[in-house]
Amino acid sequence: MASVSDLARRGRVSFAGAYRELESMRVEGLALSERVGAAVVYRANPRYPQSGLVRQLLKEDEAHAAPLPVSDGERVRGWLAAVGAPLPVSRPPEEPMPRLEEVLAEGLVLSHRDATVARALPVALWRQRDRWNYDRLVQAATRRNERQALGFFLYLTGRLSGSARWASLSDRLRDRRRSREQPFFAGRKGHTALALARKRTPPLALRWGYLMNMGLDRFASVFAKHTGIDNSTG
């Protein structure tokens, strides 16, 4: 059982594409859907003749989509630290670092599992603002199904830095077809957790369709400490 966003990320397709396929499966009787908090989740219909095959495919997909091993997560953190993200790392990455845009896109993926990476990303984006290429960054994020997350972080960085120019960079990335908020951070989200997240999520995150049980002050304090820029986030 998973939400549209989760399945889109795992399948490396767009949110709209995943939704169309899932709705087609539901109409055919292959999948069932139900609302869990703010999300609509889908699961295989056990009464469908080929439901066993669907569950097996999902199991195999989950093996490929499992969280990165700690070592890989540390590798991405090392890359991010090397480009200016304020992250503690045990040792610098030994292998050659990918292109800057690929590093930042990997940071978007990891940010869903690591709140410290999420708080550090605006600092890295700001420090490297004259070095990353917008089109290449969008392409790297899109390949990882993180286009919406990139837009959110660009908008957030503009807000924290006081630069209005970043709003135009981010606005074109927002998927206005999203009608429901989705939890930004990975992990199980029960009704109580979702209700609490909805209550505490800052308006900026809601604007981008995310539930995030973490105030903007957490981002602002990290940004101000490491850039020397202290703007009110409202």
Q: Which residues pair with residue 182 across a beta bridge?
A: 210
Q: Does 85 lie in the same domain as 179?
A: yes
Q: pTM for the complete prediction?
A: 0.68
For residue 42, the tally of other CB atoms under 10 A from its CB is 23
Q: Does 89 lie in the same domain as 48?
A: no
CB within 8 A of 232, min separation 6: which ones?
none
Last residue of a domain, one of 33, 64, 95: 64
Q: Does 106 lie in the same domain as 21?
A: no
Among 8-22, 94-108, 113-127, 139-153, top mean pLDDT goes to 113-127
Q: What are phi and psi of 69, to 5 degrees?
A: -55, 160
Is 19 inside a domain boundary? Answer: yes
Task: Return the CATH number at 39.
Answer: 1.10.10.10
182 has a pLDDT exceeding 60: yes
Reported as a single tens digit per residue, the pLDDT across 9-33 is: 666 555 666 677 777 777 777 777 7
Q: Which residues pair with residue 31 across a beta bridge?
A: 44
Distance CA(169)–CA(159), nearest Å, equals: 12
Residue with the bigger pLDDT between 199 and 166: it is 166
Report CA-CA distances (Å) from 26 to 19, 29, 34, 48, 55. Answer: 10, 5, 11, 11, 15
Distance CA(194)–CA(212), nearest Å, equals: 9
Reported as a single tens digit per residue, the pLDDT across 40-56 is: 777 777 776 665 655 56
HSE-up (13 A, CA, CB side) for residue 225: 11
